[in-house]
Structure 1
Amino acid sequence: MVRLTTGARWTIVGVVLVAALIAVMLLQQREQLRRPGADPNDQGLVAARERRDADTPEALAELRRQAQLPPCPQSGSTPGPSALATISLECAADGSTVQVGLALAGRNVVLNLWAYWCGPCADELPAMAELQRRAGDKLTVVTVHQDENEAAGIARLAELHVRLPMLQDGARRIAAALRTPNVVPTTILIRADGSVARVLPRSFTSADEIGAEVEQALGVRF
Protein backbone atom coordinates (compact mmCIF):
# COMPACT_ATOMS: atom_id res chain seq x y z
CA MET A 1 0.00 0.00 0.00
CA VAL A 2 1.40 3.40 -1.04
CA ARG A 3 1.06 6.21 1.48
CA LEU A 4 1.04 9.76 0.18
CA THR A 5 3.04 12.40 1.94
CA THR A 6 1.30 15.53 3.17
CA GLY A 7 2.90 17.52 0.35
CA ALA A 8 1.64 15.10 -2.30
CA ARG A 9 -1.88 15.24 -0.88
CA TRP A 10 -1.90 19.03 -1.06
CA THR A 11 -0.62 18.87 -4.64
CA ILE A 12 -3.50 16.60 -5.64
CA VAL A 13 -6.00 18.87 -3.90
CA GLY A 14 -4.54 21.86 -5.73
CA VAL A 15 -4.83 20.17 -9.13
CA VAL A 16 -8.45 19.22 -8.48
CA LEU A 17 -9.31 22.77 -7.40
CA VAL A 18 -7.70 24.29 -10.49
CA ALA A 19 -9.58 21.90 -12.79
CA ALA A 20 -12.84 22.74 -11.06
CA LEU A 21 -12.14 26.47 -11.37
CA ILE A 22 -11.47 26.16 -15.11
CA ALA A 23 -14.72 24.24 -15.59
CA VAL A 24 -16.69 26.93 -13.74
CA MET A 25 -15.10 29.69 -15.82
CA LEU A 26 -16.01 27.95 -19.08
CA LEU A 27 -19.60 27.51 -17.94
CA GLN A 28 -19.79 31.17 -16.95
CA GLN A 29 -18.51 32.24 -20.37
CA ARG A 30 -21.17 30.19 -22.11
CA GLU A 31 -23.89 31.61 -19.91
CA GLN A 32 -22.64 35.16 -20.52
CA LEU A 33 -22.84 34.61 -24.26
CA ARG A 34 -26.49 33.58 -23.90
CA ARG A 35 -27.45 36.61 -21.79
CA PRO A 36 -29.33 39.49 -23.46
CA GLY A 37 -26.91 42.25 -24.36
CA ALA A 38 -23.82 40.02 -24.48
CA ASP A 39 -21.34 41.29 -27.06
CA PRO A 40 -20.84 38.50 -29.64
CA ASN A 41 -17.52 40.08 -30.66
CA ASP A 42 -16.05 39.84 -27.15
CA GLN A 43 -13.39 37.17 -27.61
CA GLY A 44 -13.62 36.29 -23.92
CA LEU A 45 -17.23 35.25 -24.35
CA VAL A 46 -16.99 33.20 -27.53
CA ALA A 47 -16.66 29.50 -26.71
CA ALA A 48 -16.62 28.20 -30.29
CA ARG A 49 -14.26 29.10 -33.13
CA GLU A 50 -15.24 30.63 -36.45
CA ARG A 51 -13.55 27.80 -38.37
CA ARG A 52 -11.12 24.93 -37.99
CA ASP A 53 -7.39 25.46 -38.41
CA ALA A 54 -7.54 22.97 -41.26
CA ASP A 55 -9.90 25.18 -43.28
CA THR A 56 -7.24 27.30 -44.95
CA PRO A 57 -7.87 29.06 -48.28
CA GLU A 58 -5.71 26.42 -49.98
CA ALA A 59 -7.65 23.55 -48.41
CA LEU A 60 -11.00 25.09 -49.36
CA ALA A 61 -10.10 26.10 -52.92
CA GLU A 62 -11.31 22.93 -54.64
CA LEU A 63 -14.49 22.74 -52.56
CA ARG A 64 -15.28 26.34 -53.45
CA ARG A 65 -14.75 25.58 -57.13
CA GLN A 66 -17.14 22.62 -56.95
CA ALA A 67 -19.82 24.46 -54.95
CA GLN A 68 -19.85 27.55 -57.21
CA LEU A 69 -21.50 29.62 -54.49
CA PRO A 70 -22.53 33.17 -55.42
CA PRO A 71 -20.72 36.09 -53.77
CA CYS A 72 -22.11 37.40 -50.52
CA PRO A 73 -23.98 40.73 -50.56
CA GLN A 74 -21.88 43.82 -50.00
CA SER A 75 -22.66 47.21 -48.49
CA GLY A 76 -26.18 48.48 -48.99
CA SER A 77 -27.46 52.04 -49.20
CA THR A 78 -28.84 52.48 -45.69
CA PRO A 79 -27.86 51.45 -42.14
CA GLY A 80 -28.35 47.74 -41.57
CA PRO A 81 -29.47 45.87 -38.45
CA SER A 82 -27.79 47.67 -35.54
CA ALA A 83 -27.25 44.40 -33.65
CA LEU A 84 -25.10 43.14 -36.53
CA ALA A 85 -23.22 46.38 -37.17
CA THR A 86 -19.91 45.26 -35.64
CA ILE A 87 -19.95 41.65 -36.89
CA SER A 88 -17.60 40.64 -39.70
CA LEU A 89 -17.69 37.11 -41.13
CA GLU A 90 -16.07 35.18 -43.95
CA CYS A 91 -17.92 34.66 -47.21
CA ALA A 92 -17.58 30.98 -48.10
CA ALA A 93 -17.64 31.67 -51.83
CA ASP A 94 -14.25 33.37 -51.95
CA GLY A 95 -12.96 33.89 -48.40
CA SER A 96 -13.63 37.63 -48.44
CA THR A 97 -14.65 39.47 -45.28
CA VAL A 98 -18.24 40.66 -45.03
CA GLN A 99 -19.40 43.39 -42.66
CA VAL A 100 -22.75 41.81 -41.98
CA GLY A 101 -24.76 44.87 -40.91
CA LEU A 102 -23.68 46.90 -43.92
CA ALA A 103 -24.09 43.98 -46.32
CA LEU A 104 -27.74 43.50 -45.35
CA ALA A 105 -28.61 47.19 -45.39
CA GLY A 106 -31.46 48.32 -47.61
CA ARG A 107 -32.58 44.78 -48.44
CA ASN A 108 -35.43 42.50 -47.52
CA VAL A 109 -33.43 39.57 -46.18
CA VAL A 110 -34.00 35.94 -45.30
CA LEU A 111 -31.19 34.71 -43.04
CA ASN A 112 -31.15 30.93 -42.81
CA LEU A 113 -29.13 29.61 -39.84
CA TRP A 114 -28.04 26.02 -40.35
CA ALA A 115 -25.27 23.43 -39.85
CA TYR A 116 -23.90 20.70 -42.11
CA TRP A 117 -24.90 17.89 -39.69
CA CYS A 118 -28.54 19.03 -39.42
CA GLY A 119 -30.99 16.78 -41.33
CA PRO A 120 -33.94 19.23 -41.41
CA CYS A 121 -31.53 21.92 -42.64
CA ALA A 122 -30.58 19.76 -45.63
CA ASP A 123 -34.27 19.22 -46.41
CA GLU A 124 -34.96 22.95 -46.19
CA LEU A 125 -32.01 24.45 -48.09
CA PRO A 126 -33.28 23.53 -51.60
CA ALA A 127 -36.55 25.27 -50.73
CA MET A 128 -34.56 28.37 -49.73
CA ALA A 129 -32.80 28.27 -53.10
CA GLU A 130 -36.13 28.01 -54.90
CA LEU A 131 -37.45 30.95 -52.87
CA GLN A 132 -34.53 33.07 -54.06
CA ARG A 133 -35.08 32.01 -57.67
CA ARG A 134 -38.72 33.06 -57.53
CA ALA A 135 -38.13 36.33 -55.66
CA GLY A 136 -35.27 37.63 -57.77
CA ASP A 137 -34.15 41.12 -56.73
CA LYS A 138 -37.08 41.56 -54.34
CA LEU A 139 -35.41 39.42 -51.68
CA THR A 140 -31.93 38.36 -50.59
CA VAL A 141 -31.53 34.87 -49.12
CA VAL A 142 -28.29 34.31 -47.19
CA THR A 143 -27.31 31.10 -45.43
CA VAL A 144 -25.34 31.26 -42.17
CA HIS A 145 -23.32 28.14 -41.38
CA GLN A 146 -23.16 27.67 -37.58
CA ASP A 147 -20.38 25.13 -37.21
CA GLU A 148 -16.62 25.61 -37.25
CA ASN A 149 -16.23 22.93 -39.95
CA GLU A 150 -16.45 25.29 -42.91
CA ALA A 151 -15.30 22.64 -45.39
CA ALA A 152 -18.22 20.39 -44.44
CA GLY A 153 -20.64 23.30 -44.84
CA ILE A 154 -19.42 24.13 -48.36
CA ALA A 155 -19.43 20.44 -49.30
CA ARG A 156 -23.00 20.08 -48.05
CA LEU A 157 -24.25 22.93 -50.24
CA ALA A 158 -22.40 21.45 -53.22
CA GLU A 159 -23.96 18.03 -52.54
CA LEU A 160 -27.43 19.58 -52.40
CA HIS A 161 -26.79 21.70 -55.53
CA VAL A 162 -27.80 24.75 -53.50
CA ARG A 163 -26.17 27.95 -54.76
CA LEU A 164 -26.85 30.58 -52.14
CA PRO A 165 -24.45 32.95 -50.37
CA MET A 166 -22.96 31.36 -47.24
CA LEU A 167 -21.52 33.22 -44.27
CA GLN A 168 -19.21 31.15 -42.06
CA ASP A 169 -20.28 31.74 -38.44
CA GLY A 170 -18.85 28.90 -36.36
CA ALA A 171 -18.95 31.02 -33.20
CA ARG A 172 -22.68 31.79 -33.72
CA ARG A 173 -22.18 35.56 -33.58
CA ILE A 174 -25.33 36.37 -35.52
CA ALA A 175 -27.50 34.10 -33.37
CA ALA A 176 -26.05 35.64 -30.20
CA ALA A 177 -26.50 39.20 -31.45
CA LEU A 178 -30.13 38.63 -32.46
CA ARG A 179 -30.81 36.43 -29.42
CA THR A 180 -32.32 33.62 -31.43
CA PRO A 181 -33.18 30.21 -29.94
CA ASN A 182 -30.30 27.76 -29.85
CA VAL A 183 -31.75 25.52 -32.57
CA VAL A 184 -31.13 24.86 -36.27
CA PRO A 185 -32.59 25.51 -38.64
CA THR A 186 -33.76 28.99 -37.69
CA THR A 187 -34.89 31.54 -40.25
CA ILE A 188 -34.73 35.28 -39.56
CA LEU A 189 -36.71 37.76 -41.68
CA ILE A 190 -35.20 41.25 -41.80
CA ARG A 191 -36.88 44.34 -43.25
CA ALA A 192 -35.11 46.73 -45.59
CA ASP A 193 -34.90 49.29 -42.77
CA GLY A 194 -32.77 46.85 -40.74
CA SER A 195 -35.41 45.79 -38.23
CA VAL A 196 -36.05 42.13 -37.50
CA ALA A 197 -39.56 41.23 -38.59
CA ARG A 198 -39.70 37.62 -37.48
CA VAL A 199 -37.57 34.81 -35.99
CA LEU A 200 -38.71 31.35 -37.06
CA PRO A 201 -37.02 28.48 -35.16
CA ARG A 202 -38.50 25.76 -37.34
CA SER A 203 -37.93 23.93 -40.61
CA PHE A 204 -39.75 24.53 -43.88
CA THR A 205 -40.59 21.99 -46.55
CA SER A 206 -41.27 24.19 -49.58
CA ALA A 207 -40.69 27.62 -51.09
CA ASP A 208 -44.43 28.23 -50.88
CA GLU A 209 -44.34 27.72 -47.12
CA ILE A 210 -41.44 30.11 -46.61
CA GLY A 211 -42.90 32.55 -49.11
CA ALA A 212 -46.12 32.83 -47.10
CA GLU A 213 -44.11 33.91 -44.05
CA VAL A 214 -42.10 36.38 -46.15
CA GLU A 215 -45.21 37.96 -47.64
CA GLN A 216 -46.87 38.34 -44.25
CA ALA A 217 -43.81 39.66 -42.40
CA LEU A 218 -42.00 41.66 -45.09
CA GLY A 219 -44.80 42.47 -47.52
CA VAL A 220 -42.82 40.98 -50.41
CA ARG A 221 -44.94 39.29 -53.07
CA PHE A 222 -43.67 37.23 -55.98
Structure 2
Amino acid sequence: MIAVIIPAHNEADALPSCLGAMRLAARAAEAAGYQVEVLVVLDRCSDGSADIARAFGVETLEVDVRNVGRARRAGAALMLERGAQWLACTDADSCVPADWLLCQLAFAADAVCGTVHVQQWLPEQDGALQARYLARYQMREGHRHIHGANLGICARAYQRVGGFQPLALNEDVQLIAALQACGATIVWTACNSVATSPRLDPRARGGFGDYLKSLAEVAG
Protein backbone atom coordinates (compact mmCIF):
# COMPACT_ATOMS: atom_id res chain seq x y z
CA MET A 1 0.00 0.00 0.00
CA ILE A 2 1.17 3.50 -0.88
CA ALA A 3 0.31 6.24 1.60
CA VAL A 4 0.36 9.88 0.51
CA ILE A 5 0.76 12.35 3.37
CA ILE A 6 -0.15 16.01 2.87
CA PRO A 7 0.14 18.41 5.82
CA ALA A 8 -2.13 21.45 5.62
CA HIS A 9 -2.65 24.60 7.66
CA ASN A 10 -5.46 26.75 6.25
CA GLU A 11 -4.89 25.69 2.65
CA ALA A 12 -8.42 26.03 1.27
CA ASP A 13 -7.21 28.07 -1.70
CA ALA A 14 -4.54 25.59 -2.76
CA LEU A 15 -6.03 22.21 -1.80
CA PRO A 16 -8.39 21.76 -4.77
CA SER A 17 -5.52 21.91 -7.27
CA CYS A 18 -3.30 19.76 -5.05
CA LEU A 19 -5.90 17.04 -4.58
CA GLY A 20 -7.03 17.16 -8.19
CA ALA A 21 -3.46 16.43 -9.31
CA MET A 22 -3.09 13.77 -6.61
CA ARG A 23 -6.24 12.04 -7.80
CA LEU A 24 -4.66 11.53 -11.22
CA ALA A 25 -1.43 10.21 -9.71
CA ALA A 26 -3.35 7.82 -7.47
CA ARG A 27 -5.43 6.53 -10.37
CA ALA A 28 -2.29 5.85 -12.41
CA ALA A 29 -0.77 3.86 -9.55
CA GLU A 30 -4.01 1.99 -8.91
CA ALA A 31 -4.23 1.07 -12.59
CA ALA A 32 -0.81 -0.53 -12.17
CA GLY A 33 -2.10 -2.65 -9.29
CA TYR A 34 -1.17 -0.58 -6.24
CA GLN A 35 -3.45 0.44 -3.39
CA VAL A 36 -3.21 4.17 -2.67
CA GLU A 37 -4.49 6.02 0.38
CA VAL A 38 -4.28 9.82 0.56
CA LEU A 39 -4.23 11.51 3.96
CA VAL A 40 -4.49 15.25 4.56
CA VAL A 41 -3.16 16.14 8.00
CA LEU A 42 -5.16 19.18 9.06
CA ASP A 43 -2.91 21.13 11.40
CA ARG A 44 -4.95 23.71 13.32
CA CYS A 45 -7.11 24.58 10.31
CA SER A 46 -9.80 27.21 10.76
CA ASP A 47 -10.83 27.52 7.11
CA GLY A 48 -12.54 25.13 4.70
CA SER A 49 -9.58 22.79 4.23
CA ALA A 50 -11.34 19.87 5.93
CA ASP A 51 -14.47 20.18 3.77
CA ILE A 52 -12.38 20.35 0.60
CA ALA A 53 -10.39 17.26 1.51
CA ARG A 54 -13.54 15.30 2.26
CA ALA A 55 -15.16 16.49 -0.97
CA PHE A 56 -12.28 14.84 -2.80
CA GLY A 57 -12.90 11.64 -0.89
CA VAL A 58 -9.59 11.60 0.94
CA GLU A 59 -9.13 10.89 4.61
CA THR A 60 -8.22 13.59 7.10
CA LEU A 61 -6.38 13.60 10.40
CA GLU A 62 -6.76 16.62 12.66
CA VAL A 63 -3.83 17.76 14.82
CA ASP A 64 -3.22 20.95 16.76
CA VAL A 65 0.54 21.39 16.71
CA ARG A 66 1.43 24.05 14.09
CA ASN A 67 4.55 22.07 13.35
CA VAL A 68 5.14 20.45 9.98
CA GLY A 69 7.46 17.78 11.38
CA ARG A 70 4.89 16.71 13.95
CA ALA A 71 2.13 16.78 11.33
CA ARG A 72 4.05 14.60 8.88
CA ARG A 73 5.07 12.28 11.71
CA ALA A 74 1.48 11.87 12.89
CA GLY A 75 0.30 11.15 9.36
CA ALA A 76 3.05 8.62 8.77
CA ALA A 77 2.32 6.85 12.06
CA LEU A 78 -1.34 6.41 11.15
CA MET A 79 -0.55 5.07 7.69
CA LEU A 80 2.14 2.71 8.98
CA GLU A 81 -0.40 1.26 11.41
CA ARG A 82 -2.54 0.47 8.39
CA GLY A 83 0.24 -1.37 6.62
CA ALA A 84 1.72 1.27 4.33
CA GLN A 85 4.86 0.04 2.61
CA TRP A 86 5.72 3.32 0.89
CA LEU A 87 5.25 6.86 2.20
CA ALA A 88 4.92 9.61 -0.41
CA CYS A 89 5.03 13.19 0.85
CA THR A 90 4.00 16.44 -0.76
CA ASP A 91 2.60 19.82 0.33
CA ALA A 92 -0.87 21.30 0.07
CA ASP A 93 0.32 24.16 -2.17
CA SER A 94 1.91 21.77 -4.67
CA CYS A 95 0.72 19.70 -7.64
CA VAL A 96 2.32 16.37 -8.46
CA PRO A 97 2.61 14.96 -12.00
CA ALA A 98 0.37 12.05 -13.00
CA ASP A 99 3.23 9.54 -12.94
CA TRP A 100 4.60 10.79 -9.60
CA LEU A 101 3.95 7.67 -7.54
CA LEU A 102 4.91 5.23 -10.27
CA CYS A 103 8.16 7.11 -10.82
CA GLN A 104 9.08 6.91 -7.15
CA LEU A 105 8.40 3.19 -6.97
CA ALA A 106 10.26 2.41 -10.19
CA PHE A 107 13.58 3.33 -8.58
CA ALA A 108 13.26 0.55 -5.96
CA ALA A 109 15.22 2.74 -3.51
CA ASP A 110 14.94 3.45 0.21
CA ALA A 111 14.12 7.08 -0.55
CA VAL A 112 13.50 9.25 -3.59
CA CYS A 113 14.25 12.99 -3.43
CA GLY A 114 12.62 14.89 -6.28
CA THR A 115 12.79 18.46 -7.50
CA VAL A 116 10.20 21.22 -7.54
CA HIS A 117 9.46 23.94 -10.04
CA VAL A 118 7.37 27.08 -10.12
CA GLN A 119 4.65 26.60 -12.71
CA GLN A 120 3.34 30.16 -12.58
CA TRP A 121 5.16 33.07 -11.00
CA LEU A 122 3.22 35.83 -9.30
CA PRO A 123 2.75 39.11 -11.23
CA GLU A 124 4.98 40.99 -8.79
CA GLN A 125 7.83 38.47 -9.13
CA ASP A 126 9.93 39.96 -11.92
CA GLY A 127 12.43 38.42 -14.29
CA ALA A 128 15.36 39.22 -12.01
CA LEU A 129 13.97 36.99 -9.25
CA GLN A 130 13.13 34.20 -11.66
CA ALA A 131 16.58 34.31 -13.25
CA ARG A 132 18.30 34.27 -9.85
CA TYR A 133 16.24 31.29 -8.75
CA LEU A 134 16.84 29.30 -11.93
CA ALA A 135 20.57 30.04 -11.87
CA ARG A 136 20.89 28.51 -8.40
CA TYR A 137 18.55 25.55 -8.73
CA GLN A 138 19.83 22.15 -9.88
CA MET A 139 17.08 20.76 -12.10
CA ARG A 140 19.01 17.63 -13.01
CA GLU A 141 19.64 14.03 -12.04
CA GLY A 142 21.96 13.75 -9.07
CA HIS A 143 20.89 17.09 -7.58
CA ARG A 144 21.04 17.47 -3.81
CA HIS A 145 17.78 19.30 -3.11
CA ILE A 146 15.47 17.98 -0.40
CA HIS A 147 11.81 19.00 -0.51
CA GLY A 148 8.98 17.77 1.64
CA ALA A 149 6.83 18.58 -1.39
CA ASN A 150 8.50 15.80 -3.39
CA LEU A 151 9.73 12.97 -1.24
CA GLY A 152 9.18 9.23 -1.09
CA ILE A 153 10.41 6.81 1.58
CA CYS A 154 10.26 3.05 2.01
CA ALA A 155 8.37 2.30 5.22
CA ARG A 156 11.06 -0.03 6.56
CA ALA A 157 13.81 2.54 6.02
CA TYR A 158 11.63 5.24 7.56
CA GLN A 159 11.05 3.20 10.69
CA ARG A 160 14.70 2.18 10.91
CA VAL A 161 15.79 5.80 11.44
CA GLY A 162 12.90 6.86 13.64
CA GLY A 163 10.91 8.75 11.01
CA PHE A 164 10.21 12.47 10.80
CA GLN A 165 11.31 14.32 13.89
CA PRO A 166 9.01 16.93 15.51
CA LEU A 167 10.79 19.88 13.89
CA ALA A 168 9.19 23.12 12.77
CA LEU A 169 11.70 23.33 9.91
CA ASN A 170 13.88 20.93 7.92
CA GLU A 171 12.19 17.77 9.13
CA ASP A 172 12.71 16.44 5.60
CA VAL A 173 16.42 17.34 5.62
CA GLN A 174 16.89 15.64 8.98
CA LEU A 175 15.19 12.47 7.77
CA ILE A 176 17.36 12.20 4.67
CA ALA A 177 20.49 12.87 6.74
CA ALA A 178 19.53 10.02 9.06
CA LEU A 179 18.95 7.72 6.08
CA GLN A 180 22.33 8.65 4.59
CA ALA A 181 24.03 7.96 7.91
CA CYS A 182 22.68 4.41 7.98
CA GLY A 183 23.68 3.68 4.38
CA ALA A 184 20.23 3.81 2.81
CA THR A 185 19.86 3.90 -0.96
CA ILE A 186 18.74 7.38 -1.97
CA VAL A 187 17.83 8.50 -5.49
CA TRP A 188 18.08 12.18 -6.43
CA THR A 189 15.96 12.72 -9.51
CA ALA A 190 14.45 15.52 -11.57
CA CYS A 191 12.20 13.25 -13.65
CA ASN A 192 9.14 13.66 -11.41
CA SER A 193 9.30 17.38 -10.63
CA VAL A 194 6.43 18.79 -8.56
CA ALA A 195 4.88 22.19 -9.29
CA THR A 196 4.87 24.34 -6.18
CA SER A 197 3.66 27.76 -5.13
CA PRO A 198 5.92 30.84 -5.35
CA ARG A 199 4.03 32.59 -2.56
CA LEU A 200 6.14 34.68 -0.20
CA ASP A 201 3.90 34.13 2.84
CA PRO A 202 4.62 30.44 3.50
CA ARG A 203 2.87 28.40 6.19
CA ALA A 204 6.24 27.07 7.44
CA ARG A 205 8.80 29.76 8.23
CA GLY A 206 12.25 29.23 6.79
CA GLY A 207 11.03 27.04 3.94
CA PHE A 208 10.75 27.48 0.18
CA GLY A 209 8.72 30.69 0.39
CA ASP A 210 11.21 32.38 2.66
CA TYR A 211 14.01 31.25 0.35
CA LEU A 212 12.27 32.96 -2.57
CA LYS A 213 11.75 36.04 -0.42
CA SER A 214 15.49 36.20 0.29
CA LEU A 215 16.22 36.00 -3.42
CA ALA A 216 13.69 38.76 -4.10
CA GLU A 217 15.40 41.00 -1.55
CA VAL A 218 18.78 40.41 -3.20
CA ALA A 219 17.33 40.97 -6.67
CA GLY A 220 15.66 44.15 -5.48
TM bucket normalised to smaller? 0.3 to 0.5
TM-score under structure 1 normalisation?
A: 0.33
Whichever structure has more helix as a proportion of its residues is 1
TM-score under structure 2 normalisation?
A: 0.33
Which of the two has higher C-alpha Rg? 1
Whichever structure has more strand as a proportion of its residues is 2
